[in-house]
Each structure stands twice: as structure tokens, then as C-alpha cells.
Amino acid sequence: MRYRSVWFGRMSFVLVFGMFAAAALALIAGSAGSDDGPPIVFLLFWLAALAWNASWWLFRLAMELRIEDSVLLATAPLRSRRIELSAVTVIRPMKLTSNVAVIEIAGERPVLTLVTKGFRDFTGGIARRRPDLPIRFGWQANTTERMPGRSKTDDC
């Protein structure tokens, strides 16, 4: 079973952040070469925002989740993880943003994914393998399931 939280490919995120990195280099060159460039405070803010967003969107947020036998495969644009389903302790919404699901893993950082239509079906596949696993959905996940459109879950 497979769940995809975005309709476009993972490499789209790499390309977008590549463009932001190129803009950062242009800002650095503009600041270093003359007084006409952006203020240093703006440049530092841009670099900090770029680093923060790149870490989340390229490494932390899984764009695709897959269940193969008793293993959860989580794939972000620049990171993949293999997790035994027995190591999953809970699936819950993120505290401040319920459109992000948190899959807690014993002794490891959690897997994060965006909640779109089909996430409930995907977690149902996990629940069939792990009926003891606590699974909670936020209000945005519940709303998303009622919206029109295709599910992002398919059988593989």
C-alpha cells in the first residue's frame, strides 16, 4: 500500500530549493560587491529561512509512505527511512498544525507527513497489521477526507 502526500514529484522540491539557493548566492554576491545590495540583516534572515525550510521540506517531511510486509518506508526528497511497524508507537496530528501527521517511532525521530485525502485509508492498512496501535486524526484530516477529489492512497 502506498500514500503520496503531494501530487508532484519529490524532485520538484529539490529544484525549488535549488532556485532559492541560487537566489541566496546572488544576494551574497550583491552584498559583498557593493553598497547597493540588500542589507546584511535581510541576507541573514534569508539564509536562516532557507536553511530552516530546506531541512523540513527536503529531509523531515515524507512525501511518500509505503507499507511492505511489516516495514514502513518513508521517503522525503533527500532522505529515506525503513521502519519496522512494530517500532511505531502512535500516529497523531502535530500539536499546532493538524494537517501534519506525526508517526512516532520508539527511540527515533518521528516521521512527519502532510495529511491529504487517503491518509485515513493508509493508516487503516497499518491498523490491520497493528490493531493495538493508537491512531488519531486532527480536524484537518477529517475535513480532507470529506472533500472531493482522488485519494492519494493506492495498492502496490
In a domain, 1, yes or no: no
Query: Which tens digit of pLDDT belongs to each residue from 87-123?
Result: 999 999 999 888 999 999 999 999 999 998 889 999 9
The percent of residues above 70 in pLDDT, for the chain, comes to: 95
Range of the domain at 132: 62-154
Number of domains making up the chain: 2
Give CA–CA dist 121/118, Å, rounded: 5
In a domain, 13, yes or no: yes
Which grid coordinates belong to 131? 490493531
Tell which of 14, 43, 58 closes a domain. 58
Do 146 and 78 lie in one domain? The reply is yes
Do 127 and 89 lie in one domain? The reply is yes
Please, which residues have CB within 8 angstroms of residue 59's CB and are 6 or more apart in sequence? 76, 77, 78, 79
Q: What is the DSSP letter of 117?
A: T
- In this structure, which amino acid lies at residue 57? W
Do 96 and 137 lie in one domain? The reply is yes
Query: Which tens digit of pLDDT belongs to each residue from 15-26?
Result: 888 898 888 888
Query: Which tens digit of pLDDT belongs to each residue from 46-61?
Result: 899 999 999 998 999 9
Tell which of 32, 58, 84 closes a domain. 58
Q: What is the mean pLDDT of residues 118-135?
A: 94
